[in-house]
Each structure stands twice: as C-alpha cells, then as structure tokens.
Chain A
C-alpha cells in the first residue's frame, strides 16, 4: 500500500487530475465529499490541509504527496522533492503601495525595519535576511492585502497569480521573491526503503503531468 497526501483547496483538482491521468486507481477521489482518507487498490489518499501535507510526509505517514512550493519553503521539512508538475504556477512577491517602490530600488538600508505582513514568515525572513535588511515581520493568517491599507504594515509578502487582488487593494509588485508551483515530494524513508515503488509511481505521475502541462 502506497499512501499519497493531497492538499485540499486551490490545487486539489490539479493533483487529483494528474493522478487520474497517470492511471492510478483513484475511485472516489474526484468527488471525495467529507472523506479525508480514500482507498482504492494498493493506494491510499490522504486529503489534508495544504500546510499540513509536508508534515505527513516528513513523519512517514504518507510516502508521496503533492505540495505547493510556497508550503514546502515555509515548512522547511526534511523530505525529497522529486519534480515540478508545472501546475498551479504563481509567484511569491513583495507588494505594497507605489510610493514604496523607490526604497526597493536602493540600498538595503532603505528597507530597514519595514513592516512586512505575510502568511509566510520563514520565506520573508529568508528573503530579507539575504538582502541584508532587518525587517519587522507581521504573521497574519489571511486577507494579507488589507494590512497596508489599514496601517498594520508597510508592505506584504504573498503569493500572486493574476495580480487582480493586489490591484483591487491599490498594491503593486515591488520585488519578485520566487516562482512556485505544485511539486511531487516523497518521504526520505520511502525513497530509501521503497524506491522501486516510489519511482514507478512517480514516473507515471511525471508523465501524466508532462502531458497535461500548460
């Protein structure tokens, strides 16, 4: 039995679609209802909150998983990233009011003690530390775009797909942090001890992802 964790939410349909296209047994996966564990043949699927997926893999509860690059970077869990499916592409950016843009073009000292609201404190810390800037990171769990408008922060670090939400909140991209997408990851133990099974399934998933690559 191979266990695959899938993130619920935005990228669930992409992940379930790839599994189906790969020809893996997955009855019930397209319409799981309230089920959180689905079994079909030699496969078990765990439907988990996106931010919990790396934990399931790291602890070996799941052998394989689909996880967004943002979640992987933020969790920093020890696991093996096998490949990029190319689905769910978006960017992690620093965004803020246009008036802030000149500060991002200048010396790192211009960014000192900037207030940055984000759902991703680890990514934010890594990004600004690499620039040599010490900033004040405000950890929020949602509606990040509101923070500058309400005076809670100077700017935000968040994922952006089309930029529509930023525009609606009078924010602009000030700096690109990284590109993210849906990745296939595996537990270190499973890659060490069940490599043949993991590789065979990963190959099918990779081929299916390639065929449906946007």
Chain B
C-alpha cells in the first residue's frame, strides 16, 4: 500500500525543486537582514493556541495527544509559536527579535483546497519600538518576490484599526458579526447587520462606506475625508509613503474592508496577489495585541506565503528542471570536469552515463529535463520541461 493518508501531500519533481530554490532565496535574503531561522515544533499545546485564535480558525486545528497525554494540535500557525519562543527564550534586553522560517502547517482545508498540509515561508519582527518595522518587512518581502521572478505582485493594504474604531460604539456581538461578514466577503449580510444595528450616525456612515473603500492610493484621502479629524490611518499612510519612496507605488493597492482569517491582527494588514493567479499568495500584518496577551511589550509584524503556490508561479518552476549532460564517449573524469563547468555557471545538471545517444535523449525527455547536452561535442537540444512534477 503506497498511498498517503487522505489530505496529505508528497511534493517531488520540478515543483519540489522550485520550492527549494524559493526557500533558499527567501531565507538567505531575510538572514542577511538579521532574521534568524526558526524551526518550531510540529506540535503545539492546545491550551496555548486555543485562546489566541478565533473560533473559525480553532475548528480547523488538527488535534492530537502526545504519548505523555498532553492535548496538542499540529502547528496550524507559526506566528503563535514564534511569539511563545520570544517570550520564553529572550529577555526584554535582547529584544526585538527577527525570525524567518520555512515549514509545514496543518489544518482542516477550506475549499477549494483539499490538503491538510501546506508549506509556509514567512518572517516575523517581534517586540520592536517606534516606527519602521512594517516598512522594513514589506520592503524585504517585495524585494524577495522580485528575486523569485514575481515582479507583478501587488500588495493590498488595509488596517484592522479602521474597522475596530468604527465599531467601537457598537455592541460586541454586532461588531464581531460585522467583522466576520467582511472576512467571509458576505456584503448583503454585512449591510443587513448594519440596518438592524443600533449605531450612531457618524459611525454608520463610515461603516456603510467601508466595503467600498478599495482601490488606488486615493482611497486613503477618501477615507480621511469621510472620517474627518482623527482618522485612524497614520500607520497605513506612513507605510504607503515609505513604499512610494522605495518605488513600489504601482504595486500597492488599498482595501479598508480587509479582514484576515487570523483574529489577532491589530493594525495594518495586507494580502499579496500575483499577476498570474486569482488566489492570494499569502499575507500578514501587525499583531501588537497578541504580544501583550503573552505579557510582552512592543510591536509585532509578520507575514507568511504559501510556498507551493509561490513556487509554482516563480521563475524557477519553468527553469528549475535540470539539463541532462550525456557523457557520450568521454572518459569519466573528463566528462565530470566538463559537467562541473556547466554547474559552476548556475545550471543544474543530471549526468547520463549510457553510451546510447538515443536512449539518453529519450531518458531526458521522460525525466522532464529542460535540455539535453552532449558533453563531448557541446551540441544541445531544448526539451519541454514540466513532466517532472511528481506531487500528490
């Protein structure tokens, strides 16, 4: 019986290779900026996850018991593990902490996904003071996306504070239902809740407009005009201004109705979309309140991307397949010396030692190599890559 449990995945072939290339670039870029690699445990105590996650997320956790009898869940979110790690391993003097990671997470899937496992790459900047944290992490994120060949990605920025302040005068249950309706994208339900709710006129007007406050950067001006003095938009405006200064203006969009799945965000939030796919690559945001619930001071910001989705759209997915290098009639050491020269130029190769040229070419095609090269003569053939994806 070679099959996997339902909902589990093996990733191999060209996609695995592209994922590894993306992981390597991602971690090396963030490490260069002081982000320390973090390898969290796959098991998290249920008691430490439960209170910090919203009900819609809790119901998707995969619960297990350890052989010691401790109720746990498989890691459904790496941010919680990172915050716990900061609280337990770093004294206040050693903060802030920058971490980056690449690991699997496990959750009951939501349609259209069917897998309980997924791969995340992400970074967290925890316990910082003053300003600059969000801009740093967003600028690095955009830079890494460029390196992965995802230059057409757009960051959709929102701010959970905008909605939270607008519903501050509304009863808790209505406020939660309004946020949940926005998270689900159920606008008729949202407007129906507004109609029924006892909401002061000033905030009602703002809440009615929130689903429409999306689009270009001019939306910030519209929101400010709507709210008047004291509009809770300063962190967002500051982020936009920095990204504009870094030349990313055309890749930023605003959505003040953006509510992310995880309920712990308490400031600017964002989603990332590539030009090629309708599904979000991932996202993140500020979660200062989560830090304070763990007894930690300061600010926190982080994000995570779906590595499999990111890699499948990256430049590596098309070019990650190796070139088959046929030794032909060359002496073994001469073939290896010539092959090494090709790899030193950054090309991945796979050696073919058969003496039969036709069999070598046939194998290259069947194995999903993107090209075939005769090391003896230097001649080469371009092949159609992509047959090498072996994921299930």
Contacts and interface: CB of A to CB of B under 8 A. Distances in A.
Interface of B is mostly: mixed
Interface in B238-286: 253, 255, 258, 271, 273, 277-280
B111 A77 contact: yes
A165 interface: no
A161 interface: no
B268 to A, nearest CB: 15
Interface in B286-315: none
Contacts of B214: 191-192, 195
Interface stretch (B18-26, B182-190, B363-371): B182-190
A153 interface: no
B215 interface: yes
B378 interface: no
Contact of B253 (A78, A81, A83, A193): A193
B185 A61 contact: no
Interface in A190-210: 190-193, 195-196, 199
Interface stretch (A7-15, A52-60, A109-117, A134-142): A52-60
A86 to B, nearest CB: 11
B279 A193 contact: no
Interface string A162-201: 0000000000000000000001000111111101100100
Given A60-B277, A192-B253, A195-B214, A55 B112 contact: yes
A136 B214 CA distance: 44
Q: Which of A79, A84, A193 has the most CB of B within 10 A?
A: A193
Interface of B: 110-112, 154, 156, 185-189, 212, 214-215, 253, 255, 258, 271, 273, 277-280
Nearest to B156: A192
Given A59-B279, A76-B111, A189-B280, 13 more contacts: A59-B277, A78-B110, A80-B187, A82-B187, A83-B187, A83-B188, A84-B188, A187-B278, A188-B185, A188-B271, A189-B279, A192-B273, A195-B255
Nearest to A79: B185
A59 B112 contact: yes
B277 A78 contact: no
A199 B111 contact: no
Interface of A: 55, 57-61, 75-84, 183, 187-193, 195-196, 199
B257 to A, nearest CB: 9
A81 B112 contact: no
Nearest to B258: A192
A60 B112 contact: no
A58 B112 CA distance: 8
A60 B271 contact: no
Nearest to B158: A192
Given A78-B185, A81-B188, A189-B273, A196 B278 contact: no
Contacts of A60: 277-279
B280 A75 contact: no
Given A58-B112, A77-B112, A196-B215, A189 B278 contact: yes
A65 to B, nearest CB: 12
Contacts of A193: 154, 156, 253, 273
